[in-house]
Amino acid sequence: MLRVENLTSGYGRIVALKGVSLHVNPGEMVTLIGANGSGKSTLLSTLAGLIRPMNGKVFLGNREVTRLSPEKMVRQGVALVPEGRQLFAPMSVEDNLILGAYTRRRDGQSGTLDEVFGLFPILRERRAQPAGTLSGGEQQMLAIGRALMSRPSLLLLDEPSMGLAPRIAQDIFATLSDLKRSDTSMLLVEQNAHLALRAADRGYVIETGQIVLEGDSESLRSNRDVQRAYLGRGYQEAWDA
Amino acid sequence: MRYVKSFAWLMAIALVATLGAGAFAQDAPEAEAKAATAAADPIKIGAVFAITGKAAWLGAPEANVVKMMVEDINAKGGIHGRPVEVIVKDDQADETASRNAVGELLRENVVAIVGPSTSGCSMAVAPMCEEEGVPLVSCAALAKIVEGREWVFKTPQRDDHVVERIYDYVKEKGMTKVALMSSTDGFGAGGRATLQAKAPEYGLEIVADETYDPKDTDMTAQLTKIKAAAPDAIVNWTIAPAQSIVLKNAKQLGVEAQIFQSHGFGNYQYLAAAGDAAEGVIFPAGRILAAKDLPDDNPQKALLVDLTEKYEAKYNDKMSTFAGHAYDALQLVFEACQNKEPDRQDIRDYIEERQGFVGTGGVFNFSPEDHTGLQKDSLEMLTVKDGQFTTLAK
Amino acid sequence: MGHHFQTADLMQYLLSGVALGSIYAMVAIGFNIIYNATGIVNLAQGEFVMLGGMVTVWAHNRLSLPVAAAVLVAVVSVALIGIAFERLAIRPVRKPTVLTLVIITIAGSFVFRGAALLVWGRSLSWMEPFLGEAPVHLLGARITRQHILVFFTLIVVAFALMFFFGYTIAGKSMRACSYNRTAARLVGINDRTMVMLAFALSAGIGALAGAVVVPISYMEYDNGAMFGLKGFAAAVFGGLGHNPAAVVAGILLGIIESLSAGFISSDYKDAIALGVLLLVLFVRPRGLFGRTDLGRLTEF
């Protein structure tokens, strides 16, 4: 599905990603865990086309998509749910969703709209309300729903649980698991490694712009370094477990 | 750095575009005048006009008529066998530019300067000419330009004479209540002050006194107020297109008072723009606009008809009063050079003593006390009939 | 005399003010559209009005096109000029800052003015009113059909824009771009295209304003600055970026001008209008109806 080879990227002179290689298989949910400033968001922004990489290659299937603009990446089937949701706050929920289907504006999109409402029924109730007036969890649902409107084959999620109450974060992850069953591949960036590793099939650990560890979720969860650094266990506790 | 380039590129186009027309207008007379005078040591005369910029409609025809006169005189062999060179400068009606232009002309050792076109620029350069001892024949209206000065003359009719002619007429028709309208620029403000000052002398009551910006697009508010004051006459004083709009607005509101305009209305473009609304408006102006309607015994008629025909044939444009002012100014200098020596002192002395000079603005009688040379009879009361300027039937 | 005349005069001031203000409002809308799309104030907006008037007169008088066709020619050609301006002067800027872009629009206004000078010279452009000269009596006031037409043009433009921005996907995309440019790009909207569209729309509306006002005000190559200034005042008065507010603010500004000329003094009408504007901005820096502070300048 997605293959990233030796990707180097950053803002201006700051190199935030140093030769990252990873892949996402079709229908797979892959998570990327790392601390603040480790380069996770830079990776997603680069993949979505917001940042032009300095080096390296990105392939979708067999097609190289390394330096495409965000508009073109959407048309290639890659949709990013950005950090902080980035909704069109004064516009209605429905308009936000309709704009999500911008690249498909000439086809019918009402079917997709119904699917999104099926995933997040609360959005149907709020459809005429300005997006800015929704609660944090509803806004995150809308951000995901908007990205789904383009019918992506690969969904990039940047910190979907950020700032949400644990219950609501769990609801959202439950919906993401549902999505996985409908064959949408996902690359998920999370600080909450518990949630991420429980939902994902595989994961990568990124530190200061480089991949330091990879493996299936189970093995990462049982890795002591991961436990100590990202799962919030003290050194002794991890050792004892 | 690309934006710097694109910005510079834009600025360059802006410069070329705004200056382009001016440069052409400026260079043409200069270049051709020079071409004709290659042979002998030429007589150098300076000219400063607002050929481009906000008063271009004054300066452009002035530069045209000067070019035509230089060609003519050189075709006839020049003056005293010497060719004439007129160095024309464009001051864009800007006082600093005007001073710079005069400075350059002085360095060229010109024997006299005609212009500038506007009162402001004339006031700015008059002291320079006074100090240097160079005759300046201004083409601007303000009477103050020549007051107390030895070397400065002017050819247009004085604005206070224009006011007097209007008030003479108003009084003669038994009207007593007058409403004033004027633009807020120098021309309008000057006229307004004179209109206010002279009203009591004529026993006239000013019942309304309204102003507008020269770029305003609608004067119905001012006219509504004036209409409510029920004046017998309205005097509108401006040189802007606003004078056509005032006429249209007055017609729209059904204003019945007789409308007078200043001599600034003497421009066919504004007449055409006002259309039907201009019919019957009265304004004092030099006789040049109604040359054909003058009686045959008028001393100016032959000159006016001839000059108008030549000008209109050469430039395919209507003759303008302002071209006439420049004609008078340069003709005075030419005559002085012909009858005396092309020398600064001689030219000044000649003009100051000149009596009975038939010009486009009237018959000039200069004296040490009067450097304008014109009385108010140099103005003719004109009106608009069937879309044409014509003399007002007595 | 007396009371009846006073009421009729008041109506005259009000209606004159509405007609005057309708033009200001249309210019203000042009400012808003580009402001919303780019965060910059396009100081060449008045020049679009001037060009619209000039082209209409030229197409009608010189090419002998019927009025409607001449107006169409003006709107389309000035919209194309707006697109060209965006592509040639705004888009190539590598590191755009608000200040750089605003300065470029000033340079643009010089270019347009200079071009108009070269093409049409310094002469006055004018044409007959579209619906005849005869004034209409309305509520005791006398007003020309052209004045009424100017007002209706504003209303039609305002409703057309409400429909465009509220109900069409292109209009919604433009709004989306102004609310959140990154998010708009992420759903596949080409922000550059939206900016270009904004320039086209703005230029076209400016040209339409110029076309309907030219029989009333006439047009000279240097008239753009005045329209730009008054329109900008109306845009700020209403709250930059807010179109319905621009309609109200433009008309209010026209009425204030007209009433102060009528009841106070025509010497001070512009000063009074400006004073009211400053007062409003002092009390409400975001304008009469604005939601966002003027300090918010969206990044280009």
Whether A99 and C189 lie within 8 Å, measured CB to CB = yes
Residue B252 has pLDDT above 50, yes or no: yes
Outline where C58-131 has alpha helix (H). 67-85, 98-120
Mean pLDDT of B124-143: 91
Residues A200-216: tens digit of each pLDDT: 999 999 999 999 999 99
Q: Which two tokens stand for residue C127?
A: 């044409």
Mean pLDDT of B258-273: 88
> Considering only CB atoms, which chain A residues are within 8 Å of C184?
88, 99
Q: Which two tokens stand for residue B219?
A: 């004067």
Q: How far away is chain A from the Cα of C298, in angstroms, using its nearest Cα?
A: 14
Residue B215 has pLDDT above 80, yes or no: yes
Distances B70 to B63, B202, B327, B334 between C-alpha atoms, Å? 11, 45, 11, 10
Whether C187 and A102 lie within 8 Å, measured CB to CB = yes
> Considering only CB atoms, which chain C residues are within 8 Å of A80?
186
Note the pTM of the prediction, 2 decimals: 0.82
Close Cβ partners of B312 (under 8 Å, ≥ 6 residues apart):
B318, B319
| Phi, psi for B372 (deg, rounded to 5) | -100, -30
Mean pLDDT of chain B: 86
**A4 lies in a domain?**
yes
Distance of CA C139 to the CA centre of its chain: 28
Close Cβ partners of B303 (under 8 Å, ≥ 6 residues apart):
B358, B359, B360
Mean pLDDT of C210-227: 92
- Helix H, strand E, coil C: the string for chain B is CHHHHHHHHHHHHHHHHHHHHHHHHHHHHHHHHHHCCCCCCCEEEEEEECCCCCCHHHHHHHHHHHHHHHHHHHHCCCECCECEEEEEEECCCCHHHHHHHHHHHHHCCCCCEECCCCHHHHHHHHHHHHHHCCCEEECCCCHHHHCCCCCEEECCCCHHHHHHHHHHHHHHCCCCEEEEEEECCHHHHHHHHHHHHHCHHHCCEEEEEEEECCCCCCCHHHHHHHHHCCCCEEEEECCCCHHHHHHHHHHHHCCCCEEEECHHHCCHHHHHHHHHHHCCCEEEECHHHHHHHCCCCCCCHHHHHHHHHHHHHHHCCCCCHHHHHHHHHHHHHHHHHHHCCCCHHHHHHHHHHCEEEECCCCEEECCCCCCCCCCHHHCEEEEEECCEEEECCC
Angular region, B284: left φ>0, alpha ψ -120 to 50, beta rest: beta
DSSP-derived secondary structure letter, C125: B
Distance separating alpha carbons of residues C297 and C280, to the nearest angstrom: 20
Cα-Cα-Cα-Cα torsion B250, B255, B260, B261, nearest 10 degrees, comes to -10
Residues A115-137: tens digit of each pLDDT: 999 999 999 999 999 999 999 99
Distance separating alpha carbons of residues C35 and B249, to the nearest angstrom: 35
- Cβ-contact B347, B337 below 8 angstroms: yes
For position A180, what pLDDT does the model report? 84
Distance separating alpha carbons of residues B378 and B362, to the nearest angstrom: 5
For position B39, what pLDDT does the model report? 54
Residue C279 has pLDDT above 90, yes or no: no
For position B57, what pLDDT does the model report? 80
Mean pLDDT of A87-94: 94
The single residue listed with the structure tokens 């530069």 is: B63
- More confident of the two residues C63 and C133: C63
Highest mean pLDDT pick, B13-22, B218-227, C73-82, C269-278: C73-82
3-state secondary structure of A7: strand
**A200 lies in a domain?**
yes
Q: Are strands B43-49 and A78-81 parallel, antiparallel or unpaired?
A: unpaired
Go through the domains of chain B in sequence order and give each one's CATH number.
2-157+307-374 (3.40.50.2300), 159-285 (3.40.50.2300)
Mean pLDDT of B37-57: 81
Domain count of the fold of chain A = 1
Q: How far away is chain C from the Cα of B94, in angstroms, using its nearest Cα?
A: 16
Mean pLDDT of B239-259: 91
Mean pLDDT of B197-217: 92
pLDDT band for position B8 (cuts 50, 70, 90): low
Model ipTM value = 0.90
Whether C179 and A70 lie within 8 Å, measured CB to CB = no
For position C42, what pLDDT does the model report? 94
**A177 lies in a domain?**
no
Architecture of domain C17-283: Orthogonal Bundle (1.10)
Q: Do chains B and A touch (3 or more CB pairs under 8 A)?
A: no
> Considering only CB atoms, which chain B residues are within 8 Å of C16?
218, 220-221, 224
Distance separating alpha carbons of residues C291 and C244, to the nearest angstrom: 12
**A148 lies in a domain?**
no
**A9 lies in a domain?**
yes
Whether B225 and C258 lie within 8 Å, measured CB to CB = no
Residues B305-319: tens digit of each pLDDT: 999 999 999 998 888
pLDDT band for position A65 (cuts 50, 70, 90): very high
Show me where the domains of chain C are located: 17-283
Distance separating alpha carbons of residues B144 and C293, to the nearest angstrom: 52
Close Cβ partners of C144 (under 8 Å, ≥ 6 residues apart):
B252, C129, C133, C134, C135, C136, C216
For position A152, what pLDDT does the model report? 93
Neighbours of chain B (3+ CB pairs under 8 A): C
Mean pLDDT of C27-32: 96
For position B20, what pLDDT does the model report? 46
pLDDT band for position A190 (cuts 50, 70, 90): confident
Indicate which CATH number applies to the domain containing A29. 3.40.50.300
Of C176, C182, C186, the CB nearest to A91: C176
Mean pLDDT of B88-100: 92
For position A237, what pLDDT does the model report? 54
Distance separating alpha carbons of residues B102 and B110, to the nearest angstrom: 10
Highest mean pLDDT pick, B181-185, B198-202, C217-221: B198-202
Residue of C nearest to A105 (CA): C169
Close Cβ partners of B35 (under 8 Å, ≥ 6 residues apart):
none
Enumerate the β-bridge partners of residue B180.
B209, B235
Residue B282 has pLDDT above 60, yes or no: yes
Q: Which two tokens stand for residue A91?
A: 């516009």
**A155 lies in a domain?**
no
Nearest alpha carbon to residue A175 among A221, A110, A121: A121
